[in-house]
Chains A and B, each alone.
Chain A
Amino acid sequence: MNEFVATVVRGLGNGSIYALLALGFVIVYKSMRVISFAQPAFMMAGALLVSYLVVSMNFFLAVLVALLLVALLGAGVERLALRPMIGKPVFVIAIITLGVDIVIRTVVNSFIGLDIRQMGDPWGLGQVDVLGVKIDQRHLATLVTTLVVVAALFAFYRWSRTGLAMRAASSDQEVALAQGVSVGRVFSLSWALAAALAGLAGVFLSTGIGLEQNLWLTALKALPVIILGGLDSLGGAVVAGLSIGVVEALVGSYGGDLHPVFGGDFFLVVPYLLMLLVLLVRPYGLFGTREVERI
């Protein structure tokens, strides 16, 4: 039983990272109706900045400074590379985000170098005993931080004026504009938030052993998460991220017991199988808005 609980918590830890990444995708999609493929680059940039800043300051302060810088980077990318493309086909804008991802990751990789950079986090590989179950501190820290960030994000969207403006712009840009909402500012803020969330995911992903160039591949797991949760659902991103993390962990640990086919690295395809299943039954995701189209 203890082993099962430890597996679930590990899944929730990884799932929190997927959820943070997916939230960024959803925020950008809600504001611009575009899937941003630049999220892996922001994830790597956040982790890289912390690995450099932590040499001269406290880890938590380094995380705050790094997230601020990555948010500025996200807003800058939106202003310089995306804003001029408004009105152009969504496909074109999505391809531009792909280019942005490659450019930023190439620069980030040159700073990571060939080795593994240390994050200086206080958790390392340490564990904590919770009711007799040994749980990795970093998984617990990731889960708690994600829950706090998600609560703050939902509160921001629900109760702040800017959050209201973002919801209005997401619902109908022209009406929001007529009501005095600066849609351009909403775009910038969306990109800044998405970049910061990806940066935070990168930081937690690199805790433990460290940051290396191949870590960006993990960000791709956010794609099945957003399809599962619904492209425009913040709550869906969180639920789907955590669910996929847990299912992945359970299949990885116990899949082989059911049948040898489900052992080994079968757990890697589970998120995509779930995605396919959901696409067949609910093409807009479990929590996504069903679009009504005039025929």
Chain B
Amino acid sequence: MKRFKKAAAICLAGLTALSTVGVTGVYAEEANYDVDNMEFDNVEIRVAFRYTSGSETDGQSKWYYEKLEQFNAENEGKIHVKDESISAEADYEEKLTTDFASGDVPNAFLQYGGSRTKEYVDAGYILDLTPYFEQYPDWYDGVQEFAWETTQFEGHEGTYGIPWSSYQLCLYYNKDYLDQVGAEVPESWDDLVEVCGKLKEAGIQPFNYSDKDNYHYEHLMSAMALKAYGPEIADDLATDKEAYNGEKMVAIYQKMKDMIDAGYWGDAILSTDFSTERNMFEAGQAAFTVDGTWNCGNFQNDSDTTLFDAQKIGVTRVPYIDEAYKTVEMGGGSDTYYITTLNKSEEEIAATVKFIKYLTNVDAINEKCQYSPTTYAEKVTIDTGNYLLDEVNKIMAENTASKLELPNYDTNTAAMDTIRNSLQALATGASAQEVGDDIVDKMSAYE
């Protein structure tokens, strides 16, 4: 009996050791990150981005759908990618929220970093791409250093996504109108106010500012605060050293309100959306427009390209408030792809990485830039012939610091929506202090 027990014990020990070897073997197989050389068998993956299917004017969407078709054709019988894109931001966010609540999430999705994405990372549902970047160093090296901020999250080591676009808020102007009133391109905020006064006197509407989509005021507020107080303001607000209803921020809202009260931003701010603002600028109905660097491509691709073709559009930095922060900008990495692990098999994850790599390698982004000339996160080398983009690249090369939108740094996940909503009140007659108090009041309700 004793012998039998001994033999059984040895056998069990052997089996245990063998199973460990087996597990190690399996682990070694699972730890393969070379997705380009993996074998896939009819894997279907779903991706949710913000492209517009069938759009002829949106160069990025056009490029994406062509690449999607190409990828599916190249991987027939191996990987099939199903696109679930929704272009409208609110509807897209709603879809993501519902998907993450039900556990039926797409394999890859698009976000912009910050507190919204952090929730998913905190929950452990986003793939750390570090080992894949180690496998494909060119893929990682293809991205500009400043753009990685959207993939880094406090309390988590690793790189949780791949950015593909970058941006900076810029001031676009109609060269003819400035010449007409004998004005120089404004460098400081005071210069801008002065030029607006001259334009108004000459019967030229300075801006047709839009905030129907409710992000525009918040973008400008972020840029103005950075240009008044430097990049530290982002952390100061996030750590409550500064408050959104404090003296510094109220001074920024006041500058915005002064522009509204003087009529420099137009009469229908909350009824105008960003594309209408751009179209009105293109049609010569305003001397200025403020928006991201994506406008370089939009001006080239829109239906009315008269001003762009005649090179009558100029681009410059958002005017500084304190000259010391002239080259501090609101911008950085923007659109970023994230890969989900929630209820996903290893094979699905690998197939998704393969597809995302297909979309974001430098060659692909160079091609995308041809379709839509704008600023990208990747090191684009091609010359698109877009004169505005050349100007923007020169400006960005001289930046001393850049920060994302200020609410992105707040730990309160409601920060972005509450700040954007409260700022709209500037256009409905609220005072600068009331707006600041409203932001703090509302944010406290969501803590």
A binds B: no
Interface residues of B, Cβ cutoff 8 Å to A = none
Interface residues of A, Cβ cutoff 8 Å to B = none
